[in-house]
Amino acid sequence: MEFGTKSRKKLITTNKVKDYRYPHHLQLYTDPPTETISLQEFEELAVERLKVLKAVETIGITHQKGTEKYNQLLEKEITATKFKECFIRKRNLSLEEEIENRKRDHMSHFILRLAYCRSEDLRRWFLLQELDLFRYRFQLESSQSRVEFLASNNLKYKPVEKDEQEEVTREMDGLDHLTNSTNKEFYKVPFTEALDLVRNRKVFLRDGYAYVPQEDLVSILLSLFRTQLSHALVVTSRALPNMEEDGRLLPMLCGLSKRYLGQDYGVKKQNVGVVTAEMIELLSKKSFPLCMQNIHASFRQTHHLRHGSRLQYGLFLKGIGLSLEEAMKFFKAEFTKSMDIDTFDKKYSYNIRYNYGKEGKKTDYTPYGCMKIIMNNPPAMGDAHGCPFKHFEAEFLRQRLSSLGVSKDGVDVVMKYTKGGHYQVACAKLFELTHGINDTNSEVEMVIQHPNQYFENSQKLLNGPVKTAKTVKIVSSQQNSQASVANGSQVDVKTEVMDDEMGDDLDLNDEELNMMT
């Protein structure tokens, strides 16, 4: 038996395997699969990989990536899916099993590419989760295996010579990551190939070259992967119309992508015009998330909004059902308190029509989600946009929270999440506190993914059919999955089980969060 495992292990690294299509346990998914699979298998692979990606997302929101807790939780979640042997190697597999796993990894990735290439938001979500998954899997590999993987992807960087190394070490004295590291081997890489490290000032730069420490090579790999995948997703989305003839696949793919990103909160026919300019003031107090309340207040105060705020707020209002005419009325009334109508018409009305797809590229833009607001375009001097939990100074946020009537204990809890970088959890807690769902000490039951989701949930609670607060389901993907089941499409009923799992893991996270702080 023992002999058997040894020889299997050997087999995997022999040249024979390297010639095969899957030379390494990890892959960058450059070529699409060509095999034939059954529809059933197609869907199963997709659903299972989605479970993994969803876990990557939720754990990434509540825990700092790369920490021990994060890795543990992720391992637990992945072990619960059918990809456990594929992503987490606990035992030695036979060559056939290993290859089969790599194949499943490969195919499931490409199926989801099809499902998640259709809009920018979908692509962004998929890209983000795939990158995090890759980073997680890469750090599980042995250092030998990592080097092999680099080589198999033609990233043949050489360490710098001794003299140069010493010189660089002297200069690099100031770099963070060197403090705990004894391995001072650097790889000289054109800075354009190490952009993430450059962005965060994690490398020493000289004359256009980044001096990358060995342990940071993964970042280069990730940026390569990101570039390739983001390009491939765009190309795939263009090719998608060709698939429309196949009536079996497309509905399934649409269902898949809807199930896990939540709604896109674009304008739905039935809600256009349900909100008028006059209603905004009142709604803003009752149902707007803090980020929108903040822009609204700033707008009322200064009678002006800068570009970032006009987009973030304008699209949000569109999403809650403000028609173009009403939006124009609303913005005009406020802007013209500080400028004449001519200036408004000339400079700002364009922007409002643009939001509604009437100008420029004529795209019907969808409202920004939380990830976009948190990650992109941080506010500068004079800006009111952004995510208050991420971009406000702690003291200021505290004041804002108490001014909303949140108790001191409540403020402390929200601030605790904010401090840990769990902005969306903090926002959810604020929702619960201001809507009287739970008291300060209970765990957060929902995640806010989108300002419009916050608004809709709030409205449902305030105006919805008579239900006790506790029974209202709030997690967006739950609503979606239920909705799609109700529509009677081919969607698997397994989703409900997954939803429960998701709820579980959130509870768990919070317990652990409490322990950590």
Binding residues: 291, 370, 387, 427
Which of 80, 128, 198, 472 is close enough to bind another protein by CB under 8 A? Answer: 198
Q: Which is closer to another protein, CB of 130 or CB of 456?
A: 130
Instruction: Please identify, among the stretches 133-141, 200-208, 270-278, 460-468, the one whose residues bind another protein according to the rule CB under 8 A.
Output: 200-208
To the nearest whole angstrom, how small is the minimum distance from the Cβ of residue 386 to another protein?
A: 7
Extract the annotated binding site for [4Fe-4S] cluster. Answer: 291, 370, 387, 427
Instruction: Please identify, among the stretches 20-28, 374-382, 407-415, 465-473, the one whose residues bind another protein according to the rule CB under 8 A.
Output: 374-382
Instruction: Please identify, among the stretches 38-46, 96-104, 127-135, 375-383, the one whose residues bind another protein according to the rule CB under 8 A.
Output: 375-383
Strand partners, 210: 189, 205
Which of 162, 248, 269, 361 is close enough to bind another protein by CB under 8 A? Answer: 361
Work out whether 2 is an interface residue with another protein (CB under 8 A). Answer: no
To the nearest whole angstrom, how small is the minimum distance from the Cβ of residue 306 to another protein?
A: 10
| 186-190 β-sheet, strand order | 186-190, 209-213, 204-206
Work out whether 348 is an interface residue with another protein (CB under 8 A). Answer: no
Work out whether 242 is an interface residue with another protein (CB under 8 A). Answer: no
CA 69 to chain centre: 19
DSSP notation for 447-487? ----HHHHHHHHHHHHHSSS--GGG----HHHHHHHHHHHT
Q: Which is closer to another protein, CB of 180 or CB of 468?
A: 180
Q: Compute and round to an integer the Cα radius of gyration of the chain.
A: 25
CA 252 to chain centre: 22
How many angstroms separate the CA atoms of 96 and 483, rounded? Answer: 40
Q: For the chain, give percent helix, strand, coil, nearest 5.
A: 65, 5, 30
Instruction: Please identify, among the stretches 47-55, 201-209, 322-330, 494-502, the one whose residues bind another protein according to the rule CB under 8 A.
Output: 201-209
Work out whether 358 is an interface residue with another protein (CB under 8 A). Answer: no
Q: Which is closer to another protein, CB of 377 or CB of 459?
A: 377
Strand partners, 209: 190, 206
> Where does 214-309 show beta strands of DSSP type E?
none
User: Quick one: which of 233, 209, 203 has its CA closest to 115?
Assistant: 233
Question: Which positions from 380 through 399 interact with another protein, judged by CB under 8 A?
Answer: 380-384, 386, 391-393, 396-397
To the nearest whole angstrom, how small is the minimum distance from the Cβ of residue 264 to another protein?
A: 21
How many angstroms separate the CA atoms of 323 and 357, rounded? Answer: 12
Answer whether 305's CB lies under 8 Å from 344's CB.
Answer: no
H/E run at residue 212:
strand 209-213
Which of 227, 228, 407, 490 is close enough to bind another protein by CB under 8 A? Answer: 227
Contacting positions for another protein (CB under 8 A): 171-176, 179, 191-192, 195-196, 198-201, 204-209, 223, 227, 238, 346, 361, 377-384, 386, 391-393, 396-397
